[in-house]
Amino acid sequence: MINGVPVFGFTLSFALTHRLAVALALALAAGAAVCVYRAARREPVWGALAALGLVCVAGALAAGTGQATSFFLPSLMLHAVMAVVSAVMLLLGWPPMGVVVGLITKEGTGWRRCRVRRRALTRGNLVVLAGNLKMLAIQIPLFLSGQTVALGAVDVLGPIVIALGALLGWRVYRRVLGGHRCGSHDRMTVEVHLEGPAGEHLVPAAAHRPVHRAPDAPTPAVE
């Protein structure tokens, strides 16, 4: 959330002053302050540096076009690209949620071997994608109509909406998965090996079932 401070600063300053230069200066200052804050707390600064780089690109676009709405163009394009990539991966059977879960759990692509998990991850990811598309459906009209403050407010709330979408998608995944349990190789059969008291190998009882055969035909009586 702290990485969104530059966008909040830009939106608030532009709403109060309606001066693009002031809003850009405050956004850059806020981005630099976030980097210093994380460095002082010895926290990873990569996220803050990425946000600052995005602010620099957005500021250059806004300054070059003279339009305050251009400040939100990189973020808008990023969300659009993420939506397209997510949709393509879902069509190919690689839901991004599954890729993320595989990276977090060190499982890799093991989840793809289970049909139930693939279906659950796909449905959960559809919820996340629906939230992303809803955000774009709100942002694009605001961008085209030049409503900078409203666009900034939506952009500030974007991380919260994405987080809620991810949480809801995870709940959908867990509900679809239900009580299903599977190994990494999704084995449909399990071989059971038992040992008797003397150490001899015992096979399942089903292997000892008698084979029912048709009774022999009766021998004709000899008169």
Question: Which of the four pLDDT bands, split at 50, 70 and 90, describes residue 42?
Answer: confident
Helix (H) or strand (E) holding 68: none
CA 148, CA 152: separation in Å to the nearest integer? 6
Q: Does residue 185 carry a pLDDT above 70? A: no
Instruction: Please state which of the ranges 37-46, 73-82, 144-153, 189-198 shows the lowest mean pLDDT.
Output: 189-198
Q: What is the CA radius of gyration of the chain?
A: 30
Query: Given a cut of 60, is residue 150 above it in pLDDT?
Result: yes
Q: Which DSSP symbol is given to 209?
A: P
CA proximity to 71, closest of 33, 31, 27, 30: 27
pTM listed for this prediction: 0.72
Contacts of 106 (CB under 8 A, 6+ apart): none
Domain ranges of the chain: 1-66, 73-180
Residue with tokens 């509900």, as numbered in its chain:
175
Closest to 156 in 3D by CA, of 37, 81, 71, 40: 71
Tell me how far the alpha carbon of residue 178 is from its chain's centroid.
20
Q: How many angstroms separate the CA atoms of 64 and 67, rounded?
A: 8
The pLDDT > 90 percentage for the chain reads: 47
162 Cβ partners below 8 Å, 6+ apart? 128, 131, 132, 135
Of the listed ranges 43-52, 110-119, 165-174, 182-191, the one predicted with least confidence? 182-191
Q: Report the distance separating Cα 170 and Cα 209, nearest Å.
A: 46
Query: 167 falls in which pLDDT band (50, 70, 90)?
Result: very high
* Three-class DSSP category at 39: helix
pLDDT tens digits for range 87-115:
999 999 999 999 998 898 888 888 888 88
Q: What is the torsional sign of CA 25, 31, 35, 41?
A: positive
Q: What is the pLDDT of residues 75-92, one digit of tens each?
A: 899 889 999 999 999 999
107/111 Cα distance (integer angstroms): 7
